């Protein structure tokens, strides 16, 4: 999409909104035409939640590098039904600290839409991208709430590795995202370039490409926040988080913060607690929130 470099991307840019909408429709048609199967057990999702309060009660901005949210957000349409999504307190903290109202916030692994629910609530122009059609449909349902002066998010069925024709260089104000952790949770059966289907080496190779693309689209002196956890294989820890961190540093990102986020309410905890004693290993109960700055 050729554009005047002096013309900013913002919520009032009808050309941008029209283009994103058109691209979404075209890509959806292609996916349906190809008949790519979806992993129904993972993508099965209840009807969007609708809580009493649009805004969190008693929310406080985090001030340390240890974050813990035992009772995940229960405001707006947030829900923990979608496996692997992050608590809304995480993107809310990121968005409030590292962006301003009306700025562009990109989540290239939008999933069930946690980030773009928050951009709508906080008057940012959210752009949510996902390679999985079902994730896009879930996100569309989750942003169907009304709020005065809200900026409607843009949703796009697309590939984070192929954004060049969609998003210009140096145009995004904040990247706020939570990618899959290799193939720990598979979100599809055989959608090409779905990172949740890849083994560790393949995943890290693709994340190298992801880091380059996110560096390209982000404005100078703006921030990219990414949540990533470690994994265990053959009773040994694979430092997936730090491997991804290093990939982002290699392309030029400067590491501003490392936040340790405690994990709560993990599925199958009772099963794995027993296994950890039997096989003498500790359960991983943390994730890393890496906050990078593009110089």
- Residue 207 domain-assigned? yes
**Within a domain: residue 55?**
no
Residue 185 lies in a domain: yes
| 3-state DSSP assignment of residue 188 | coil
Domain for residue 239, yes or no?
yes
Q: How far apart are CA 125 and CA 106, in angstroms?
A: 9
Q: Is residue 143 part of a domain?
A: yes
CA 142 to chain centre: 15
pLDDT band at 186 (very low <50, low <70, confident <90, very high): low
Residue 249 placed within a domain: yes
Is residue 78 a part of any domain in this protein? yes
70 pLDDT band, cuts 50/70/90, is confident
Structure confidence by residue, pLDDT tens digits, 245-283: 999 999 999 999 999 999 876 655 677 778 888 888 888
CATH number of 204's domain: 3.40.50.150
Q: Which residues are within 8 A (CB) of 261 and not within 5 positions of it... i.e. 6 or more apart?
A: 67, 68, 69, 90, 227, 286, 287, 288, 289
Convert the pLDDT of each residue in 90-100 to its tens digit. Answer: 999 999 999 99
Range of lowest pLDDT (21-30, 167-176, 251-260): 21-30
- What percentage of the chain carries pLDDT values higher than 70? 75
Closest among 127, 113, 138, 128 to 42, alpha carbons compared: 138
Q: Alpha-carbon distance 52 to 54, whole Å?
A: 7
Domains: count for the chain: 1
In a domain, 153, yes or no: yes
- Domain of residue 77 covers 14-45+62-293
Q: Which residue has the tokens 């099963």?
A: 271
Query: CA 90, CA 261: separation in Å to the nearest integer?
Result: 9
pTM over 0.85: no
Phi-psi map region of 62: left, alpha, beta (phi>0 left; psi -120 to 50 alpha):
beta
pLDDT at 46: 43
The answer to whether the CB of 109 falls within 8 A of the CB of 176 is no
């Amino acid at each position: 999409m050729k554009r005047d470099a002096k013309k900013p991307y913002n919520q009032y840019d009808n050309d941008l909104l029209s283009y994103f909408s058109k691209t979404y429709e075209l890509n959806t048609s292609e996916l349906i035409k190809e008949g790519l199967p979806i992993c129904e057990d993972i993508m099965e999702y209840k009807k969007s939640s609708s809580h009493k309060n649009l805004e969190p009660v008693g929310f406080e901005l985090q001030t340390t590098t240890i974050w813990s949210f035992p009772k995940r957000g229960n405001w707006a349409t947030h829900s923990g039904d979608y496996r692997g999504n992050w608590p809304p307190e995480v993107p809310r903290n990121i968005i409030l600290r590292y962006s301003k109202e009306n700025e562009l916030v990109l989540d290239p692994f939008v999933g069930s839409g946690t980030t773009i629910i928050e951009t709508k609530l906080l008057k940012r122009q959210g752009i949510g991208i996902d390679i999985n059609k079902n994730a896009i449909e879930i996100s569309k349902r989750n942003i169907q709430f009304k709020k005065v002066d809200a900026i409607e998010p843009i949703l796009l069925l697309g590939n984070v590795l192929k954004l060049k024709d969609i998003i210009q260089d140096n145009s995004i104000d904040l990247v706020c995202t939570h990618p899959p952790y290799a193939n720990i949770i598979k979100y599809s059966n055989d959608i090409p370039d779905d990172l949740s289907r890849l083994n560790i080496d393949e995943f890290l190779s693709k994340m190298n490409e992801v880091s380059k693309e996110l560096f390209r689209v982000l404005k100078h002196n703006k921030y990219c926040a990414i949540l990533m956890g470690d994994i265990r294989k053959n009773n040994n820890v694979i430092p997936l988080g730090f491997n991804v961190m290093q990939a982002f540093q290699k392309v030029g990102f400067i590491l501003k913060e490392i936040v340790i986020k405690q994990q709560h309410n993990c599925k199958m905890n009772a099963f794995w607690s027993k296994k950890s004693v039997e096989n003498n290993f500790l359960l991983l109960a943390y994730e890393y929130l890496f906050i990078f700055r593009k110089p």
